[in-house]
Chain A
Amino acid sequence: MSDDLNDLKQALQATTPTPEAARKAEHLMLAEKNFERLQETTKPHRHTFRQSDDGHFKGVKKMMSMLSNRMALGTATALACAGLIAVFPEISAQFGDQKHTNPANDPHATVQSSPEYIYQDRHNNSIRHAGVRIERGRGRQRSYYASLTPCREHEKSLVAGNSGYSSSGAQIKPQR
């Protein structure tokens, strides 16, 4: 170090005061207190997954094990239900709103025969199977199909060109 800096260094050393004992103790206590507080409030780090090198399915199994049973069961059930409803639309008709599937129970339901679902042999004067379209009453917008096997009286009325039967307000309009 050159003389110029030596002078400055000596001057600095001569003028630098020693810290007051009371202030020093106060500062050390403050630091210790903050250290303790920080240790108390510091939460453990969140566990993160290590990228698995054991193949794709190991990771999937790990992920599934992390899911709670209830969540997994709920998700699987919902998916299965959605799949069943998509594949078999009749199920929704039967289980969705059972009291309206029977026209006799819904005074506002209008039941119409659906052309594509009627297998009627007019020459043989018989109906083997009929599909009916039920339109709900009272402003409900949804409609769906249900497969019904009509009774003998119903067959006769349909073949005879009757306007259908109505036991409690519901109507069945036969296909012309």
Chain B
Amino acid sequence: MNMTDEDLAQSAAAGDRQAFCNLLERCYDRIFGLAFRLTGNRTEAEDLTQDICANLPKKMQTYQAKARFSTWIYRVIVNAAHDRRRRAARQGKAALDWGDWELARQAENHEAAALTDWLITAMQSLPPEIRDTLALILDDVTHQEAGQILGVSQGTISWRVSQAKSQLRALKAQEQTL
């Protein structure tokens, strides 16, 4: 029988180890993907995913089937990313973020390199809160869910998305003039 994420999450919260393992295996790629979109750095994304996996058993105990599991796990990821940024800022380290050399190095051909350059420039032009919002919205999360995940109103999400759009439009216009 194919159990839903919510069923598995509830079983895991009740102490079912197998359910926990199945659930984590199922959603691992999603966790890593969002971690990468939030950080823009593979190494940071891997470290962030490791943090999340290490703390997930404890957090799992607090899971309540009030919201969808995807909403809940996105909130866990976003909070972990914020914690990591805060920790880095407190320790006086520059948090590795969008625009680091590693991503650019990954581009294998000229076309891919151009796309990566544009992406890095676009993401760098956005403030962190708008970047976090976009990372969710571009993962097909609704505005309402994004508001729940980030702890802001739906109106704030819509405003951030519109800000992102106008900045990206301005960036494109700037590129065309060059």
Are A and B genuine complex partners? Answer: yes
Question: Do residues A32 and B118 form an inter-chain contact, with CB atoms below 8 A?
Answer: no
Kindly state the separation between the CA atoms of A31 and B54 in the bound complex, as whole angstroms: 5
Question: Do residues B50 and A30 form an inter-chain contact, with CB atoms below 8 A?
Answer: yes
Which residues in window 31-47 of A have CB below 8 A to B? 31-32, 34-39, 42
A24 sits at the interface (CB 8 A) = yes
List chain A residues, Cβ under 8 A from B24.
28, 31-32
Q: Considering the complex, give the chain A residue whose CB is closest to the CB of B126.
A: A8
List chain B residues, Cβ under 8 A from A42.
15
A97 sits at the interface (CB 8 A) = no
Question: Do residues A16 and B122 form an inter-chain contact, with CB atoms below 8 A?
Answer: no
A27 sits at the interface (CB 8 A) = yes
Query: A19's contact among B46, B54, B103, B134, by CB below 8 Å, is which?
Result: B46
Kindly state the separation between the CA atoms of A5 and B57 in the bound complex, as whole angstroms: 35
Query: B42's contact among A2, A17, A37, by CB below 8 Å, is which?
Result: A17
Kindly state the separation between the CA atoms of A159 and B118 in the bound complex, as whole angstroms: 124
> How many Cβ-Cβ contacts under 8 Å join chain A to chain B?
98
List chain B residues, Cβ under 8 A from A37.
57
Question: Do residues A5 and B25 form an inter-chain contact, with CB atoms below 8 A?
Answer: no
Kindly state the separation between the CA atoms of A26 and B49 in the bound complex, as whole angstroms: 11
Question: Do residues A12 and B119 form an inter-chain contact, with CB atoms below 8 A?
Answer: yes
B28 sits at the interface (CB 8 A) = yes
Taking chain B's interface residues, is the majority helix, strand, or loop, or is none over half, making it mixed?
A: helix
Q: Considering the complex, give the chain A residue whose CB is closest to the CB of B25.
A: A28
Which residues in window 97-111 of B have CB below 8 A to A? 103, 106
List chain B residues, Cβ under 8 A from A20.
46
Question: Do residues A8 and B168 form an inter-chain contact, with CB atoms below 8 A?
Answer: yes
Question: Do residues A39 and B17 form an inter-chain contact, with CB atoms below 8 A?
Answer: yes
Binds A, one of B32-40, B63-71, B79-87: B32-40
* Chain A residues in the interface with B (C-beta under 8 A): 2, 4-5, 7-9, 11-12, 14-20, 23-24, 26-28, 30-32, 34-39, 42
* Besides A17-B42, A26-B50, A34-B56, 9 other A-B contacts (C-beta < 8 A): A8-B138, A16-B37, A17-B106, A18-B29, A24-B32, A27-B28, A27-B53, A32-B17, A39-B15
